[in-house]
């Protein structure tokens, strides 16, 4: 069965163009989603993948409608293929139900893995180089100058006792937990 997946990033965008194209391709079922591609919690995508059966074909308008990054895309397509289904993108000439489409997809997957390895290698080399120069990673210890100033004001206002904790937080535009952190420092 042909199953469509259409996604727009914001509530203001219109999904009709994608939906019309998917129905025109013969999709019996179209899952629609209004969510950012960066959001990994996409219930309609998850529902679609959970319902896939062998020989189903997932049809999408463009690859970027399915995943934001190459890594996400590779993971999703692998999950679709593990269910015995294929993927066809209407505007990207990708069709994993054909030998050429599988080859193209596997090239994408290999490039994604290569990219991950290169990034990992560069990160490791950069950290080793920084350590060799005596630098340590992580967030700097202590408060920024602005935070130190607010901590001094917080302590002064709190010790005077003229304002409630809520009033101090509102006055300094800080959270209650931040205020108590400031009082400890």
Residues acting as catalytic residues: 9
Task: Of 112, 39, 50, give the one whose Cα is nearest residue 79.
Answer: 50
> What DSSP assignment string belongs to 61-106?
S-GGGT-SSHHHHHHHHHHHHHTT-EEEETTTTEETTSHHHHHHHH
Scored b (16 or more CB within 10 A) or e, 88-110 reads bbbeeebbbeeeebeebbeebbe
């Amino acid at each position: 069965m042909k199953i469509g997946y259409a996604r727009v990033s914001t509530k203001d965008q219109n999904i009709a163009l994608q939906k019309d194209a998917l129905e025109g391709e013969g999709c019996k079922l179209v899952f629609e989603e209004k969510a950012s591609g960066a959001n990994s919690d996409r219930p309609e995508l998850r529902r679609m993948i959970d319902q896939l059966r062998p020989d189903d074909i997932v049809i999408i308008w463009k690859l970027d409608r399915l995943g934001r990054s190459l890594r996400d895309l590779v993971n999703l397509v692998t999950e679709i293929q593990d269910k015995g289904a294929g993927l066809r993108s209407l505007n990207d000439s990708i069709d994993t139900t054909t030998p050429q489409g599988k080859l193209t997809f596997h090239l994408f997957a290999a490039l994604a893995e290569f990219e991950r390895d290169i990034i990992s290698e560069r990160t490791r080399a950069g950290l080793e180089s920084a350590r060799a120069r005596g630098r340590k990673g992580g967030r700097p210890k202590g408060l920024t100058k602005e935070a130190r100033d607010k901590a001094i004001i917080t302590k002064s206002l709190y010790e005077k006792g003229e304002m409630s904790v809520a009033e101090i937080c509102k006055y300094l535009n800080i959270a209650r937990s931040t205020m108590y952190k400031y009082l400890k420092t």
